[in-house]
Amino acid sequence: MNSKLQTLSSKIYAISPTNIFSKDFSTKLTQVLESGVQIIQLRCKKEKISSQEKIKLKNLVSLIHRSNGICILNDHFSLVEAINADGLHIGQSDIDPVLARKLLPSKIIGISCYQYVELAYLAKKAHLDYVSFGAFDKSSTKKDVSIIKKSEYKKINQFKELPKVIIGGIKNSNFDQSKLSKFDMIAVSSGIFNEKNIPKAIKGLITNTKILEKD
């Protein structure tokens, strides 16, 4: 595991919406960081990023670093070094994880494994740093998802080779300790960024994760 992940004192992993170049996103991001979230994934689904947008991305990374946060870039592996991001998150249809590790030997790399623990073992072989499982619940971010079944939770919980992240529709109102207790990080997107009171939402999430740590 990358040493930077070992420094995290909060289990909340904030996943940005895709409108990271909008006027109000940096304001929301500042609120997230000031509320105690230490790891942020920046998502941008545009295939081509303009020079101006690269500058904006770099500024967002700098904002995260000024708060001693960790910035993970979703999908755009060729930009990780250029914008000084701390790592990369990929899906199963993105860059091959073995190649990703070769190109980014010192960066944090995580991968989506959906409900399949077999993919997590392949991630371990590729020397990745964490694996993500989902979906916990339906979400406004991704609507066509499969929810993790009880039998699948049992297999996932037995996987301990890499830090595990759970993602998918998690918010304070559906925070299920029995399902989330075995995960190292709790990924939250709309449950943070779509909330009217972001600091209040994060305070609740952090409180809930502290309860997990006591169990």
* Residues 158-182 pLDDT 10s: 999 999 999 999 999 999 988 999 9
- CA–CA dist 170, 82 (Å, integer): 32
pLDDT for 212 equals 72
The architecture in CATH of the region 3-214 reads: Alpha-Beta Barrel (3.20)
**How far is 204 from 214, CA to CA, in rounded Å?**
16
The whole-number average pLDDT for the span 174-193 is 94
pLDDT at position 215 is 58
With 90 as the cut, is the pLDDT of residue 142 above it? no
Q: Percentage of the chain surpassing pLDDT 70?
A: 97
Task: Please give the structure tokens belonging to residue 157.
Answer: 């919980």
CB count within 10 Å of CB 78 equals 12
Both tokens of residue 124? 């371990």
pLDDT surpasses 80 at 84: yes
Q: Which helix (H) or strand (E) holds 185?
A: strand 185-188
For residue 214, the model assigns a pLDDT of 62
Cα–Cα distance, 77 to 58 (Å, whole number): 14
Average pLDDT over residues 119-131: 98
Q: Where are the domains of the chain?
A: 3-214
Separation of alpha carbons 200 and 204, rounded Å: 6
**130 or 6, which is more confident:** 130
> Average model confidence (pLDDT) for the chain?
94
State mean pLDDT over 47-62: 95
pTM: 0.95
Q: Is the pLDDT of residue 195 over 70?
A: yes
Q: pLDDT over 90 for what percent of the chain?
A: 87
On the question of pLDDT at 82 being above 90, the answer is: yes
Give residue-wise pLDDT tens across range 12-29. Answer: 999 999 999 998 999 999
**Separation of alpha carbons 19 and 101, rounded Å:** 28
Query: How remote is the C-alpha of 4 from its chain's centroid?
Result: 14
pLDDT score, position 46: 86
